[in-house]
Amino acid sequence: MSRFLRLLRGHPAAEQIVPRAGFTAWLTGLTAFAMAALAVCALAATFAAGRLADRWSSELARSSTVQVLAPAEEVDRQVTAALAALRTTPGIVSARALDMAEQEALLAPWIGTGLPLDALPVPRLIVIEETVEGPDAAALALRLTAEAPGAQYDDHTRWRRPMIAAADRLRLISGAALALILFATAAMVTLASRAALAANARVITTLRLVGAEDRFIAGAFTRRFTLRALIGAGLGAAGAALAFLFVPDVGAEGAFVTGLAPQGQEWLALAGVPLIAAITAYIATARAAKRALNTIEEA
Amino acid sequence: MSRFLRLLRGHPAAEQIVPRAGFTAWLTGLTAFAMAALAVCALAATFAAGRLADRWSSELARSSTVQVLAPAEEVDRQVTAALAALRTTPGIVSARALDMAEQEALLAPWIGTGLPLDALPVPRLIVIEETVEGPDAAALALRLTAEAPGAQYDDHTRWRRPMIAAADRLRLISGAALALILFATAAMVTLASRAALAANARVITTLRLVGAEDRFIAGAFTRRFTLRALIGAGLGAAGAALAFLFVPDVGAEGAFVTGLAPQGQEWLALAGVPLIAAITAYIATARAAKRALNTIEEA
Amino acid sequence: MIEFSGTRFSYGQDTILSDLNLSITPGSFHFLTGPSGAGKTTFLKLCYMALTPTGGGLTVFGKEAAMLTRDDIARFRRKIGVMHQNCQFLDHLSVEDNIALPLRVQDKFTESRATDLADLMDWVGLSHRAAALPPELSGGERQRAALARAVMISPDVIIADEPTGNLDWDMAQRVLTLLVELNRMGKAVLIATHDLNIIRSVKGQVNARVLRLKSGQLQLAGSDL
Amino acid sequence: MIEFSGTRFSYGQDTILSDLNLSITPGSFHFLTGPSGAGKTTFLKLCYMALTPTGGGLTVFGKEAAMLTRDDIARFRRKIGVMHQNCQFLDHLSVEDNIALPLRVQDKFTESRATDLADLMDWVGLSHRAAALPPELSGGERQRAALARAVMISPDVIIADEPTGNLDWDMAQRVLTLLVELNRMGKAVLIATHDLNIIRSVKGQVNARVLRLKSGQLQLAGSDL
Ligand SMILES: Nc1ncnc2c1ncn2[C@@H]1O[C@H](COP(=O)(O)OP(=O)(O)OP(=O)(O)O)[C@@H](O)[C@H]1O
Ligand SMILES: Nc1ncnc2c1ncn2[C@@H]1O[C@H](COP(=O)(O)OP(=O)(O)OP(=O)(O)O)[C@@H](O)[C@H]1O
Ligand SMILES: [Mg+2]
Ligand SMILES: [Mg+2]
């Protein structure tokens, strides 16, 4: 790391002596810029997908119900049977029958208050807390039919579960994109610096002819590419981050879906993007320079 | 276009004569590969976000309700008043009171059938078809309080609307990423081919010395870069597309959220990615070659 | 074929050549001498259109040099064999391929030319290095390869810049014999050199004119050679 | 300082040099001749460690050449001034900066050195071209610049490959005078050339040994020079 920092300070003579490397240096900067911007997008997508999946998962945890509708003399037995069945079903964390007061509160918007619920043949509700995966709906329905014919499984999570799957998938894909971006950046910087070094083979042999050490030659190239990558990636990441800042937020309601913009300390992760780009560039260039110095022959 | 195709056929002599361009050619191929893969991801994200937004928008169209709970002698008047208010509220397409049979069907899962609903002080339901933007919830509530004190606006769309906004935002961001990818690819290919041409300045002057025409020199470079871009982008796009193919689908339930993978003719758009990359590379290289041929001096 | 009439040339402010008058006709043999930095190479570059006069007239194969496009120049170069002072080669192609390059860029490399090529390589003593890459050649070998490439297309004009600078006496004689032979076949030859011994050794064989560049002017050298 | 003892060298299968024995001591002056392709440049490259012997011993400044790392070589090069046959320069730096390059890579360029540099440029006749880029030099100017760079660090050994190949007689004499002067100051000088006239003109001034490379062997040339 100290070597990395020393490098950024540079060697005054080497800098003037090695040619400006023109297009390849620009190419590195631009690559770093574009890749950093894309990395920030992918990172933000990963974070957002992760947040979505987390939030929806926790919402799922208490979402489904079983209604038991049976003749008054049967209903208590069936509720007990259904509870027993539910509690031994894999994918269900807990099951609990609502008492009359709770059920009344639940129905109030629909049928108003003041109804003699206990006198009416109103179905009884069992609230279930499921695991994230949830139970096998078809198997559960079959089992309930056998043990409590009046019980009906109502999977409120049905439409949310695929959303979690989708969020997970989005997280997976944006994670893969992130890995691709990192790998591609490393490969591109390697190739760009190799191209620069190969194009400068004569410069290298000439410098050797007049007694320049490896460190001197490699340093000049490495520094240039690392700086380009750092600056390019810094601008790219900042640009993309700014774009996220200025997209208006979803507002309070958005709490449910969560915004696309990074939140809290996720912003810190974005700041890591240019740093990682610079370190990647440093390692890639240093290796390319070492290779070039070993390959390019004396003349 | 015919010029583009002729180019891909190539000039047998030129090919052997211009040096293999090593790293820069690989760099172009790799850039095309990574950028095409990212482009496919971004395209897929754009498509998926578009589909989500569309589907959710259409679901929204009939989602909210107003309950009117009032003494039996008041209820009809308040329903009429509420309907009148709703029909003149901006953001609401239509409003309709459910009749008793419909309401009974709606409540069946909760309170069972066979209840004398008309005899009970059950609230009456008004079903509203909203525009995509929907009404101003606060203003509407205020107005209803004034005209029909027993009416209560229940905005079922509350939690979906931000999701549509999020999907739209996702579409925007992935579209921007797509544009960034296209632009960065063009710039990178331009810089890579300029670097290659600059590195081959001596080759160009030597070829000129022995009587090679511009077309001969430029063609050799252009062809190589275009082919590299085409092959690289083809592999990259195919790789990313395969990744989407093999991610298991969300299944039937997913109809609500829609899969992340492209659907139907969206796949065709993906096939366009390598083509656009190749054309971009062709234009970028041809311009770089023209520039180099004008810049590099005789010797 | 190449006609200088009042031709001037300067790099920026530095006037290198002023008021040149010379006609290079088929079958002529010219030597160009002058101290280092006099402008010999610059003069040759004007002849093969690598530079354009900054004043006066210069016609090449009947066309005004200033009017030519890059592709016109490329086509004229196919009638001019140039041996550059720095012997430019494509370092990734073998010596043999480099010598055949002028034919390849015209898509004119054929079987019969291949025999010519072998003979030529033999004459300049490079047969054993045919497969080598240019950077693997010695300085003198490189000069001979450059000359071989210049004459490969049997051009109407042969322009050689210091063709014997890195050659020992015997090899230099061999190379000059080749040029004299080509001149007898009617090709125009123009050689820039600082080596007066070389000029003397050729003067006995052909009717060569010796030009001297001095302070930007072209003079006909006296009989002191 | 440089000791060949039974040294051999071959590029792959081609044996270029076999069983060389020679000692280059401070204050010695050697000419190296031989036909084109004999291995003169190869021999010089062994001296400045651009090539490593494929057999036999070679010690440079008391160290076995085969044992040296690249950085050792870099440091030894600071005591050896090399004028390469192809005159390698950095084309993006001015002639002056190129000549000062050996000092710059050591971070040793100072004010007093700058006067030395100006004097040196003057001596080789390049003062008026100091700001030019190397590709803008004439062939002879490039050779002089390369020589100037070789002597800039006042090295213990000066190695020059065909230093006068592109120079006219007067300029060649001027350059040789500089080398003779340095030799009198105790520097070892080693010059490869094919020009016997050059050798003859120097023999009167210093006690120079003339070596001839023939079929890979080093011979002491007779008094026929
Ligand atoms: N591209 C250029 N830009 C500026 N000046 C140049 C350029 N090329 C050559 N010169 C200068 O023009 C002058 C003549 O150069 P030229 O190469 O014609 O000399 P020459 O007679 O061939 O010398 P030599 O015998 O050393 O090769 C020299 O002083 C040189 O420095
Ligand atoms: N890198 C290399 N690989 C293979 N062969 C080489 C290499 N460099 C030189 N040679 C061959 O070795 C032989 C000696 O080359 P060298 O350059 O030492 O000759 P030289 O005596 O300097 O000749 P000249 O006077 O023409 O410069 C030549 O035949 C040359 O082709
Ligand atoms: Mg010249
Ligand atoms: Mg040599």
Q: Report, as an integer, the average pLDDT of D202-206.
A: 85
Q: At what angle do helices A214-246 and A266-295 cross, to 10 degrees?
A: 150
Q: Reduce the DSSP state of residue B45 to 3 states and report it.
A: helix
Could D162 and C141 be called an inter-chain contact, meaning their C-beta atoms sit closer than 8 Å?
A: no
CB C8 within 8 A of CB C17: yes
Work out the average pLDDT over B201-205. 86
Residues C30 and C70 in one domain: yes
Burial of residue A22 (number of CB atoms within 10 Å: 0-12, 13-18, 19+): middle
Q: Which of A288-297, B21-30, B39-48, B196-205 has the lowest mean pLDDT?
A: B21-30
Asked whether the predicted pLDDT for residue D114 surpasses 90, the reply is no
- Any atom of ligand 2 within 6 Å of the Cβ of D37: yes
**Could you tell me the two tokens for A130?**
């499921």
Closest residue of B to C50, CA-based? B298
Ligand 2 atom 24: the closest Cα is on which residue?
Answer: D36
pLDDT tens digit sequence for A187-197: 888 888 887 88
Single-letter amino acid code for the residue at A260: L
Query: Given B202, B211, B299, which is nearest C77 (Cβ)?
Result: B211
| C169 and C130 assigned to the same domain | no
Distant-in-sequence, close-in-space partners of A46: CB < 8 Å, separation ≥ 6: A171, A174, A175, A178
Alpha carbon distance D224, C188 (integer Å)? 38
Same structural domain, C70 and C161: yes
d(CA A188, nearest CA chain D) in Å: 26
Query: 3-state DSSP: chain A helix, strand, coil percent, rounded to 5?
Result: 70, 5, 20
* Domain final position from C133, C154, C175: C154
- C204 CA to chain B: closest CA distance, Å? 32
Q: Alpha-carbon distance B202 to B297, whole Å? A: 10
Same domain (yes/no): C169, C149: no
Least confident of A147-151, B13-17, C18-22, D114-118: B13-17
| Whether residue C139 has its Cβ less than 6 Å from ligand 2 | yes
Confidence at residue B139, expressed as pLDDT on a 0 to 100 scale: 83
Q: Which residue of chain A has the CA closest to B288? A: A23
Note whether B111 contacts A107, CB cutoff 8 Å.
Answer: yes
Q: What is the dihedral of CA A24, C101, C142, C45, to 10 degrees?
A: -80
Give the dihedral sign, CA A177/A178/A181/A187: negative
Confidence band (pLDDT; 50, 70, 90) for D148? very high
Q: Which two tokens stand for residue B90?
A: 């901006």
Q: Output the pLDDT for position B253.
A: 40
The ligand 2 atom at the shortest distance from the C-alpha of residue C139 is 27
C-alpha torsion B272→B274→B278→B283, nearest 10: 50
Q: Are residues D52 and D119 in the same domain?
A: no
**Are residue D2 and residue D59 in the same domain, yes or no?**
yes
Contacts of B203 in chain C (CB under 8 A): 90
The percent of chain B in helix, strand and coil, each rounded to the nearest 5, is 70, 5, 20
> What pLDDT sits at residue A106?
65
In the structure, what pLDDT confidence band is assigned to residue B102 with cuts at 50, 70 and 90? confident
Total number of domains in chain C: 2
Question: What is chain B's mean pLDDT, rounded?
Answer: 77
The answer to whether the CB atoms of C11 and D136 lie below 8 A apart is yes
Q: Where are the domains of chain B?
A: 2-57+161-298, 70-149
Q: What is the mean pLDDT of residues B152-158?
A: 65
The three-state (H, E, C) secondary structure of C212-225, written as one string: EEECCEEEECCCCC
Nearest chain A residue to D86, by CA: A299
Q: Where is mean pLDDT largest: A90-104, B5-19, B52-66, C148-162?
A: C148-162
| Protein residues with C-beta less than 5 angstroms from the ion ligand 4 | C 138-139; D 40-41, 85
pLDDT in tens, A6-41: 666 666 666 677 777 667 778 788 888 888 888 888
What string of H, E and C letters represents the secondary structure of chain A?
CHHHHHHHHCCHHHHHHCCCCHHHHHHHHHHHHHHHHHHHHHHHHHHHHHHHHHHHHHHHCCCEEEEECCCHHHHHHHHHHHHHHHHCCCCEEEEEECCHHHHHHHHHHHHCCCCCHHHCCCCEEEEEEECCCCCCHHHHHHHHHHHCCCEEEECCCCCCHHHHHHHHHHHHHHHHHHHHHHHHHHHHHHHHHHHHHHHCHHHHHHHHHCCCCHHHHHHHHHHHHHHHHHHHHHHHHHHHHHHHHHCCCCCHHHHCCCCCCCCCCHHHHHHHHHHHHHHHHHHHHHHHHHHHHHHCCCC
**Which site among D48, D88, D93 would you substitute to test the A interface, given the most A Cβ atoms closer than 10 Å to its Cβ?**
D88
Main-chain dihedrals φ then ψ at residue C126, nearest 5 degrees: -120, 5
A298 vs B193: which has the higher pLDDT: B193
Q: How many CB pairs under 8 A join A and B?
A: 197
C139 pLDDT band, cuts 50/70/90, is confident
Both D13 and D68 in one domain: the answer is yes
Average pLDDT, chain C: 89
- Examine the pLDDT at D58 and tell me if it is beyond 90: yes
Sort C192 into a burial class: Cβ within 10 Å, 0-12 / 13-18 / 19+.
buried
Say whether C85 and D166 touch across the interface (CB within 8 A): yes
Q: Which residue has the higher pLDDT, D201 or A153?
A: D201
Interface test with B, best of C83, C104, C153 (most B CBs within 10 A): C104
Strands D80-83 and D63-64, sheet pairing: unpaired
- Its domain, for residue C12, covers 1-79+155-224
- Residue whose Cα lies nearest atom 31 of ligand 1: it is D137
Same domain, C49 and C113: no
Which two three-digit tokens encode residue A275? 């740093």
Mean pLDDT of C198-202: 88
Beta strand B124-130 pairing with B64-68 = antiparallel
From B19, B213, B298, residue closest to C92, measured CB to CB: B19
D117/D212 same-domain check: no
DSSP state of C56: E
Res. A258: pLDDT tops 60: no
What would the two tokens of residue C225 be?
């050679």
Residue C216 Cβ < 6 Å to ligand 1: no
Q: How many angstroms separate the CA atoms of C47 and C60, rounded? A: 8
- pLDDT, tens digit, 9 for 90 and up, residues D82-113: 998 877 898 889 999 999 988 888 877 777 77
Q: Which residue of D has its CA nearest to A214?
A: D71
Domain shared by D95 and D195, yes or no? no
Among D127, D137, D147, D168, which residue has the most ligand 1 atoms within 8 Å of its CB, making it the best to mutate? D137
Tokens of C153: 């297309």
The half-sphere exposure of C145 on its side-chain side, counting CA atoms within 13 A, is 34
- Report yes or no on whether pTM surpasses 0.95: no
C-alpha span between A165 and A47 (Å, rounded): 15
Which residue's alpha carbon is nearest to atom 22 within ligand 2? D41
Do D143 and D175 fall into the same domain?
no
Amino acid at C165: G
> Are C171 and D35 an interchain contact pair (Cβ–Cβ within 8 Å)?
yes
Looking at residue D80, what is its pLDDT? 93
Report whether B160 contacts B59 (CB < 8 A): yes
Instruction: Give residue for tokens 């691709």.
Output: A180
At residue C222, does pLDDT exceed 60? yes
| pLDDT value of position C33 | 92
Confirm or reject: Cβ of C134 under 6 Å from ligand 2. no
Identify the nearest ligand to the CA of C45 by its number: 1
Residue in A20, A31, A75 to test binding to B, most B beta-carbons within 10 Å: A31
Q: In the predicted model, what is the mean pLDDT of chain D?
A: 89
Quick one: which ligand is closest to D137's CA?
1
**Same-domain pairing of D28 and D121:** no
**What's the CATH number where D12 sits?**
3.40.50.300
